[in-house]
Amino acid sequence: MTRILGLSGSLRKASFNTGLLRASEALMPEGAHLDAHTLHGVPLFDADAEAEQGVPPAVAVLKEALAESEGLLLVTPEYNNGIPGVFKNAIDWMSRPPGGTDLFKGKPVAVIGASPGGFGTMLSQAHWLPVLRTLGTRHWSEGRLMVSRAGNLFDAEGRLTDDETRKRLADFLSGFVSFVQAG
């Protein structure tokens, strides 16, 4: 079984991106499992707090899930044409010892996202590239999924309701899982 860690970069209860992550769980190809997580409970990075208290429990859970996964799916919102600070903060925490950047090194990664705007999360996805390169990941760039005008595709609870988007997501996940399995 190919295990993929999926992270939603939004804290909003009815987040389009968390909804996209939940839809991904249901659409994983046969032989693959998506271990979906949010960033709830991850504090702002503070090196003094880290030195005094160690790795926060929410971060330890994400680091363990990353260590046990064969791939990483980032489901990113786009705030002010870039990466949400809360999402970058979580990745910064995850790249700290123990494990540090070794948890990311060589790990296949894909980035998707949903936005109420007309361009999806195009700029946010592009802003992840230098971070992913710095961490030494293997970014899957053969597929792209930017869900635009998400307010029309999700219900009030953040569930994906659009069949065409669901098909595009299933195709994307199939391609990404093949990339992960090819090693």
Q: Which residues contact 84 (CB under 8 A, 6 or more apart)?
A: 9, 10, 76, 77, 78, 124
pLDDT number for residue 143: 87
Q: Is the pLDDT of residue 88 over 90?
A: yes
- C-alpha Rg value of the chain to the nearest Å: 16
- Report the pLDDT averaged over residues 157-177: 97
Rounded to 10 deg, the angle between the 163-182 and 16-27 helix axes is 60
Q: What percent of the chain has pLDDT over 70?
A: 100
Tell me the percentage of the chain whose pLDDT exceeds 90: 98
pLDDT at 173 over 90: yes
**Calpha distance 148→55 (Å, rounded):** 36
Alpha helices in the chain (DSSP H): 16-27, 47-53, 57-68, 85-94, 122-134, 163-182
Which has the closest alpha carbon to 74: 43, 45, 39?
A: 39
Domain ranges of the chain: 2-182
pLDDT value at residue 32: 98
Is the domain 2-182 a CATH 3.40.50.360 member? yes
pLDDT tens across 55-79, in order? 999 999 999 999 999 999 999 999 9
Q: What is the pLDDT of residues 105-143, one digit of tens each?
A: 999 999 999 999 999 999 999 999 999 999 999 999 998
* CB proximity list for 97: less than 8 A, separation 6 or greater: none
What pLDDT sits at residue 146?
96
Q: Using the predicted structure, report yes or no on whether residue 102 has a pLDDT greater than 90.
A: yes
- Backbone torsion region of residue 109, taken as left when φ is above 0, otherwise alpha when ψ lies between -120 and 50, otherwise beta: beta
- Give me the mean pLDDT over the 91-105 stretch: 96
Prior bond to 98 cis, omega within 30? Answer: yes
Task: Write down the pLDDT at residue 126.
Answer: 97
Q: What is d(CA 114, CA 77) in angstroms, rounded to the nearest whole number?
A: 6
Contact between 103 and 136 under an 8 Å Cβ cutoff? The reply is no
Do 121 and 146 touch, CB atoms closer than 8 A? yes
**pLDDT at position 95:** 97
Is residue 35 very low, low, confident or very high in pLDDT (cuts 50, 70, 90)?
very high
